[in-house]
Amino acid sequence: MKNFLYPVICLLILPGLTMSENTVRQHNLMPIPQIVEFSYGRFIIDRDFTIELTGACGNRSERVATRLLRRLSGRTGYFIDQGFVELEQTINDPKLRISCKRTGKLDLGEDESYILNVSIHNITIKAPTELGVLHAIETLLQLFETDGKEYYFPVVKIEDAPRFPWRGLMLDVCRHFLPVEVIKRNIDAMAAVKLNVLHLHLSEDQGFRVESKIYPQLHLQGSDGDYFTQVQMQEIIAYASERGIRVIPEFDMPGHATAWFVGHPELSSNDTTYSIERGWGVKDPVMNPIRESTFDFLDQFIGEMAGLFPDAYFHIGGDENNGVHWGKNPDIQKYMEQQGYENTHQLQSYFTDRVRQIVEGHGKIMIGWDEIFDPGMNKNIISQVWSREGMKQLPQILAQDFQVIISNGYYIDLFWSTEAHYLKDPAREDFVDDVALEKNILGGEVPSWAEFNTPEVIDARIWPRTAALAERFWSAKEIRDVDDMYRRLDHVSYTLEELGIQHIRNYEMMLRRLTNNADIQALKTLADLVEPIEDYKRHRFDPDRKYLSYSPLTRLVDVVQSDALEARKFRQMTSTYLVEIKKFDQYKGRKRSSRIKQFKNSTCRLDLVQQMKSWQENNAELQAVMGDSPILNEIKPIATDLQQAAEIGLAAVKYIESGKTASVSWTNDQLSILENALEPKAELELRILPAVEELVRIAGNRPRETEAE
Amino acid sequence: MKNFLYPVICLLILPGLTMSENTVRQHNLMPIPQIVEFSYGRFIIDRDFTIELTGACGNRSERVATRLLRRLSGRTGYFIDQGFVELEQTINDPKLRISCKRTGKLDLGEDESYILNVSIHNITIKAPTELGVLHAIETLLQLFETDGKEYYFPVVKIEDAPRFPWRGLMLDVCRHFLPVEVIKRNIDAMAAVKLNVLHLHLSEDQGFRVESKIYPQLHLQGSDGDYFTQVQMQEIIAYASERGIRVIPEFDMPGHATAWFVGHPELSSNDTTYSIERGWGVKDPVMNPIRESTFDFLDQFIGEMAGLFPDAYFHIGGDENNGVHWGKNPDIQKYMEQQGYENTHQLQSYFTDRVRQIVEGHGKIMIGWDEIFDPGMNKNIISQVWSREGMKQLPQILAQDFQVIISNGYYIDLFWSTEAHYLKDPAREDFVDDVALEKNILGGEVPSWAEFNTPEVIDARIWPRTAALAERFWSAKEIRDVDDMYRRLDHVSYTLEELGIQHIRNYEMMLRRLTNNADIQALKTLADLVEPIEDYKRHRFDPDRKYLSYSPLTRLVDVVQSDALEARKFRQMTSTYLVEIKKFDQYKGRKRSSRIKQFKNSTCRLDLVQQMKSWQENNAELQAVMGDSPILNEIKPIATDLQQAAEIGLAAVKYIESGKTASVSWTNDQLSILENALEPKAELELRILPAVEELVRIAGNRPRETEAE
């Protein structure tokens, strides 16, 4: 979690890397703006910092500018004199002058551009709309720096606008409910990285999460009491709007709808009673598409929700209907025969088109997950492409001039590394070969499904990785430097704390709970090196452990994050070490020995060895902390793996430096031990193993055929 | 922040202190119940833990029992099979059986008692009302233990009931606003330590914090947009009620009322316009007590609020009216003459009595701060005694059969140590000499005024200290063991994290901000030893730094807490050391030297010396972290003080162990350096200094005349 410079180049310290003030100056901006031109000099921040609003700025600018004063004041400790920024206020020689041409509308495609100019004496923000002002202020706050003597913004000229107009985060508030304040703090984080769409997944098998005044049994019986009142939803919408973020509601239909049926079984395709689903996975319950009463109900309900949610877009889900209950219902089967439908997808297309008419009847544009797509459908819908099948269809969808939002590759709940997500472009070439069709890609959305989320862990499940995806959706396609992304991400991650995001501070808190408040240092050393297994493997990992909606999410796998930064650091240390050591291949005999001897005192070699030794030394304390604790029992094998890996790694280094190749049997034995260690345990993977394996392979002169890492 | 056993007795390790299973067994209960009888044995917690509700329990019991399942599940990682506790459910051989005689009413004086019986095989909770069930479940959760092998509750029989029926926390949400979720998590923490009254201070010079539908200009113009809607207030009241906590509203009048006058200047005694007050202190604006329109307004307003807040009690403030604007208003002066009032207190008594009639007209009982007291007043009011004058009047008030709530001594915003608050009994003998009159003391309330609070720091400002006061209000008067209180408090503090309280996790987060995300360890070493200056001295500390409502609260003084536990630990180490070393006074010459030589290797001596050395060693890194950082500049002198104190302490130890008395000049010099160091800096006090001073005094054979510490 800490600031560190990756030791990319051994022995060579880059002088003044963070301080050099030129146009290719290192910075912490994320997303990277379209044009950034640094110049020499700084604007020094002091307590006389003042802000003036001019032009056609509105109240939203007043408030975001006032928040800027508070955030600067909080970071610097300066008692900044100006308390509030007001529209009518004229400031004598203001430090920051903000001007807008108009307030702008919070609609898809509204101008979000801005020009930010920092000179030594003052700062100007010029934006066509307040949306640009909001973005400019976040950029300015990301420019905030200190050299340990003063706080300042570097002199810079930035011209910026988003690549895609739709940059979203989808929160599943159904599988585990997220109360208002969790939504709010995540809205603040979204705004900090220029995301502009909050998609709320509001109904599911496991919960119906918004109050309906027309059909109160929906939320009363479908939510265990955990739902947003309409007043709360208005509060969320207003909060998001203040920050330039549109709120899109999703009511998933016809599948993923068990929670509707608890209060309204008549909507279902199976004449039975329902209770809230506690398990995960795709379930059979599905709406009945052949009763007119279903559409009457949906017309009323969607009408109510269309009034509650002001945005022009309305999401009706449409994913993962397995057709089972349609298959079992004789009336539905008969109807399908009558209509000549050959499969349930055709019936769903009929259903979807009826719902589209309802949605449009209430003045909204329909969005659905990619299953809604049907080549014969009305063009005025948006497909949110998430599945492999959806991606395969993408060229066809785009060619037919349907508009899409890309979510495939962005499922933040899959426990992927940031890098894995970051390199996937919304218009990735393997699917979008015709650049002209990129115009039909509105943008991207990061879905956060909630099987493994609670208010306690949600922030760490979303952040900081989503910040890198926000850059993917905003910045130029060419921005793809992973190392630089990680460097900036580390800083963004820290600044999100200011907005109340809990990802860093809850880490140690949860470790304390695991040890019942004993010293956590030894456990943290291990925790820093492991990541949850990827994809949805957690569900199938242990046949004796079936996750339900009320299962505990407090074990180590819930504590640790998907980018184990310390493990990443170790992998980089190892590659650097191996690059350096390879350089001695050109020497032989005593010449080699004497150079190696010298090299042994180099930082990059000492750090690597010291790191492995420290894991060995940590083991005794770690064993003591784990004891026979039921909650920590499952990670004991990982502690052993770490201990062994450290030992193996140190032995491999010895071989490598000795100039002798390790024996085949030794190499095989170690590789086999490491292979066993690679087997996930406790739903976790020890992420230093690839690097140790690499050391062993080099020691035994058995390089990988294809370099994976 | 960590678990530690104070090294109370040097060299002697108490065997099995935490594990011994007998009736005087060490436990972590806070408040300590009236009767606790431990026996041998444990109830082992496993995934088959089940709960059954019987008798007349209501829905509140269903929900608190379900929360118990979740909390056990979270702590143990067990996938407990029972997901929800329901009234109608019959469980075969339940592990925990809860029975109530009736649901009970959330009124003052309702039966809150319970009997909790943990046997090896099962647990029973019996309570006359659900309020007792709520308390019993919190007690059970405090009994949760682990020996590193299993999770269990010790076998115990507890009979419990509160000493006082009124056990409150007052949150000032005016000086700095606290949003709903901050209130909610604090309600959870209150419930965990059996507090049962949340007093909300809702109007002030700096803000009017609740929506009025009749007089919307009150909140619209008086709050900067930071107020509770009535719906939010209902949400808070319902949340508190679920946890057995009554909510008492306070609207402060006639003084402390500037925010009312922004929208309604006609209520004031001065014909002018008003804006929201940004400064602190007692202000002149005051309601006009001689216009009938004032009372008409209050009648309407109090009527509205009496409907919003269901509790029978209603707080009208009444404190700190300085009378200035009454004195300046000729009409009011004339009225006072006509009525023969000799001072403004008499006029205020008239005002208060008029308001009392209004409050009673709306079916409520009036509470006010102690200034409302007047011997001739109607008995059916409650005085909340806070001031020195109020305490002086207390015997008279009680003797006249007025009921009181004690807040004097409990101002948690004064930055006192826990100990200082803890030892003050609500019926302290210097004021309540007649035990029979204790019946008129309803209980105590902890006021948290908010000049230095924000949502970020509020939890650390209230917790864990308030938990010790909760014990003061609940447990027997005789419970006064400070060391044991601190030991248990440390554990309670940790368990509050489970409820979302941010006091521990925000500490390092705020340190990270101070260093702009550099390594915080060196700074934390210093931070762990300092406390904010006490009382309201922060306001007057630096004439160039005037605190306003929008001033930053992110400096070190805002980060650190009032019990610097590491400093406390050091003070205890020093006393233990001095007690031990004194034992060698009986020996002389070589006998002494040889014993001292042996003693030098004892833990308590080595720990003390090592501690001081570590501060010396920390200094270089601390200096590097501080650099010339503007926000850390002010603490540089404290770092120097620490460095010097460590040096002096080590030198003193050397003298002491040498058997020679330090010279007068050396002793004087060191005492003078320490005296300078004692001078607060950056609004902070370095809390190890008294111990170092003690070492110097012993070294120089110059003991304190009166032992203060």
Q: What is the pLDDT of residues A657-694, one digit of tens each?
A: 998 999 999 999 999 999 999 999 999 999 999 999 99
Give the residue-averaged pLDDT of B528-533.
Answer: 98
| Whether the predicted pLDDT of A21 surpasses 50 | no
pLDDT value for A18: 41
Which residues from A are below 8 Å from B77, CB to CB? 552, 554-555, 630-631
> Residues A331, A336, A342, CA angle at the centre, nearest 5°?
145
| Whether the predicted pLDDT of B378 surpasses 90 | no
Looking at CA atoms only, how far is residue B604 from chain A in angstroms? 21
pLDDT value for A434: 82
Predicted confidence (pLDDT) per residue in B163-213, tens digit: 999 999 999 999 999 999 999 999 999 999 999 999 999 999 999 999 999
**Of A323-332, A547-556, A657-666, B581-590, minimum mean pLDDT range:** B581-590
φ, ψ at A36 (rounded to 5°): -130, 120
Nearest Cα residue in chain B from A144: B516
Question: How far apart (Å, rounded) are the C-alpha atoms in residues A269 and A351?
Answer: 13
Looking at CA atoms only, how far is residue B1 from chain A in angstroms? 9
Task: List the beta bridge partners of residue B44.
Answer: B152
Predicted confidence (pLDDT) per residue in B259-303, tens digit: 999 999 999 999 899 999 999 999 999 999 999 999 999 999 999
Give the residue-averaged pLDDT of B452-474.
Answer: 98
Question: Please, what's the b/e burial string for A176-204 (b: 16 or more CB within 10 A of its CB; e: otherwise)?
Answer: bbbebbbbbbbbbbbbbbbbbbbbbbbbb
Looking at CA atoms only, how far is residue B641 from chain A in angstroms? 22
Count interface pairs A-B at CB distance under 8 A: 147
| Whether the predicted pLDDT of A4 surpasses 50 | no
- How would you classify the pairing of strands A403-406 and B381-385? unpaired
DSSP collapsed to 3 states, B477-544 = CCCCCHHHHHHHHHHHHHHHHHHCCCCCHHHHHHHHHHCCCCCCHHHHHHHCCEEECCCCHHHHCCCC
pLDDT value for A430: 84
Give the residue-averaged pLDDT of B25-45.
Answer: 96
Chain A interface test: which of B147, B213, B512 (most A C-beta within 10 Å): B512
**Of A586-590, A668-672, B649-653, minimum mean pLDDT range:** A586-590
Catalytic residue among B235, B304, B320, B617: B320
Residue A706 confidence class, pLDDT cut points 50, 70, 90: low
Chain A interface test: which of B19, B629, B634 (most A C-beta within 10 Å): B629
Looking at CA atoms only, how far is residue B608 from chain A in angstroms? 20
Please confirm whether the linkage preceding A690 is cis (ω < 30° from 0).
no
Nearest Cα residue in chain B from A513: B75
Question: Residue A14: CB partners within 8 Å, gap ≥ 6?
Answer: none
Closest CA to A524 of A489, A559, A550: A559
pLDDT value for A700: 96
pLDDT value for B706: 53
Residue A274 confidence class, pLDDT cut points 50, 70, 90: very high
Predicted confidence (pLDDT) per residue in A86-144, tens digit: 998 999 999 999 999 999 999 999 999 999 999 999 999 999 999 999 999 999 999 99
Nearest Cα residue in chain A from B230: A231
Nearest-by-Cβ selection for A505 from B455, B509, B552: B509
Which residues from B are below 8 Å from A455, CB to CB? 500
pLDDT value for A15: 39
Chain A interface test: which of B63, B79, B502 (most A C-beta within 10 Å): B79
Catalytic residue among A159, A304, A320, A498: A320
Residue B21 confidence class, pLDDT cut points 50, 70, 90: very low
pLDDT value for A377: 83
Predicted confidence (pLDDT) per residue in B212-255, tens digit: 999 999 999 999 999 999 999 999 999 999 999 999 999 999 99
A550 vs B73: CB contact, 8 Å cut-off? yes
A146 vs B629: CB contact, 8 Å cut-off? yes
A79 vs B494: CB contact, 8 Å cut-off? no
pLDDT value for B24: 67
Looking at CA atoms only, how far is residue A566 from chain B in angstroms? 15
Predicted confidence (pLDDT) per residue in B387-442, tens digit: 999 999 999 999 999 999 999 999 999 999 999 999 999 999 888 878 888 999 99
Residue A379 confidence class, pLDDT cut points 50, 70, 90: confident
Residue that the structure tokens 């929360």 belong to: B67
Nearest-by-Cβ selection for A148 from B148, B553, B628: B628
Nearest-by-Cβ selection for A151 from B77, B519, B630: B630
Question: How far apart (Å, rounded) are the C-alpha atoms in residues A276 and A269?
Answer: 16
B73 vs A518: CB contact, 8 Å cut-off? no
Pair B280, B451: CB distance under 8 Å: yes
B180-192 and B482-496 helices, crossing angle to 10° = 140
Give Cα separations from B12 to B9, B568, B585, B602 (angstroms).
6, 20, 20, 10
Please confirm whether the linkage preceding B154 is cis (ω < 30° from 0).
no
| Whether the predicted pLDDT of B13 surpasses 90 | no
A149 vs B180: CB contact, 8 Å cut-off? no
Nearest-by-Cβ selection for A545 from B69, B79, B508: B79
- How would you classify the pairing of strands B51-55 and B403-406? unpaired
A77 vs B497: CB contact, 8 Å cut-off? no
Question: Residue B669: CB partners within 8 Å, gap ≥ 6?
Answer: none
Predicted confidence (pLDDT) per residue in A148-170, tens digit: 999 999 999 999 999 999 999 99
Question: How far apart (Å, rounded) are the C-alpha atoms in residues B669 and B674?
Answer: 9
Four-CA torsion A644, A647, A652, A653, nearest 10 degrees:
140
| Whether the predicted pLDDT of B8 surpasses 90 | no
- How would you classify the pairing of strands A151-160 and A35-44? antiparallel
B630 vs A78: CB contact, 8 Å cut-off? yes
Question: How far apart (Å, rounded) are the C-alpha atoms in residues B327 and B332?
Answer: 7
Which tokens go with B645? 């104190």
Residue B705 confidence class, pLDDT cut points 50, 70, 90: low
H helices of A276-376, in order, are 292-308, 324-328, 330-339, 344-361
Nearest-by-Cβ selection for A74 from B498, B545, B554: B554
| Whether the predicted pLDDT of A23 surpasses 70 | no
**CA A337, A340, A342, A343 torsion-angle sign:** negative
Give Cα separations from B537 to A264, A524, B407, B415 (angstroms).
62, 40, 20, 10
SS3 B58: coil
| Whether the predicted pLDDT of A245 surpasses 80 | yes
Mean pLDDT estimate for chain A: 94
Which residues from B are below 8 Å from A509, CB to CB? 497, 504-505
Classify burial at A621, counting beta carbons within 10 Å of its beta carbon; exposed 0-12, middle 13-18, buried 19 or more.
middle
A630 vs B76: CB contact, 8 Å cut-off? yes
A512 vs B497: CB contact, 8 Å cut-off? yes
Give the residue-averaged pLDDT of B98-115.
Answer: 97
Nearest Cα residue in chain B from A1: B517
Answer yes or no: is the ipTM higher than 0.90. yes
Region of residue B9 (left: phi > 0; alpha: psi -120 to 50; beta: else)? beta
| Whether the predicted pLDDT of A290 surpasses 60 | yes
Which residues from A are below 8 Å from B2, CB to CB? 517, 519
Nearest Cα residue in chain A from B628: A149
Nearest-by-Cβ selection for B77 from A494, A506, A555: A555
Q: Tell me what percent of the residues of chain A surpass a pLDDT of 70.
A: 96
A83 vs B550: CB contact, 8 Å cut-off? yes
Residue A13 confidence class, pLDDT cut points 50, 70, 90: very low
Which tokens go with B26? 């060490």
Give the residue-averaged pLDDT of B150-160.
Answer: 98
| Whether the predicted pLDDT of A11 surpasses 50 | no
What is the DSSP secondary structure assignment for residue B288, as one 8-state letter? Answer: -
B150 vs A181: CB contact, 8 Å cut-off? no
Mean pLDDT estimate for chain B: 94
Give the residue-averaged pLDDT of A48-67.
Answer: 97
| Whether the predicted pLDDT of A71 surpasses 70 | yes
Task: List the beta bridge partners of residue A208.
Answer: A203
Cα-atom radius of gyration of chain B, to the nearest Å?
28
Question: How far apart (Å, rounded) are the C-alpha atoms in residues A448 and A199?
Answer: 10
pLDDT value for A333: 97
SS3 A533: coil
pLDDT value for A30: 98
| Whether the predicted pLDDT of B14 surpasses 60 | no
pLDDT value for B12: 40
Looking at CA atoms only, how far is residue B359 from chain A in angstroms? 30
| Whether the predicted pLDDT of B369 surpasses 80 | yes
Nearest Cα residue in chain B from A628: B149
Give the residue-averaged pLDDT of A374-400.
Answer: 92
Residue A198 confidence class, pLDDT cut points 50, 70, 90: very high
Which residues from A are below 8 Å from B231, CB to CB? 229, 231
| Whether the predicted pLDDT of B155 surpasses 80 | yes
| Whether the predicted pLDDT of B15 surpasses 70 | no
Question: How far apart (Å, rounded) are the C-alpha atoms in residues B394 and B385?
Answer: 8
Nearest Cα residue in chain B from A83: B550
Give Cα separations from A196 to A107, B263, B438 (angstroms).
10, 36, 61
> Has B320 been annotated as catalytic?
yes
Residue A2 confidence class, pLDDT cut points 50, 70, 90: very low
B551 vs A627: CB contact, 8 Å cut-off? no
Q: Tell me what percent of the residues of chain B surpass a pLDDT of 90.
A: 91
Give the residue-averaged pLDDT of B573-600.
Answer: 91
Which residues from B are below 8 Å from A459, CB to CB? none
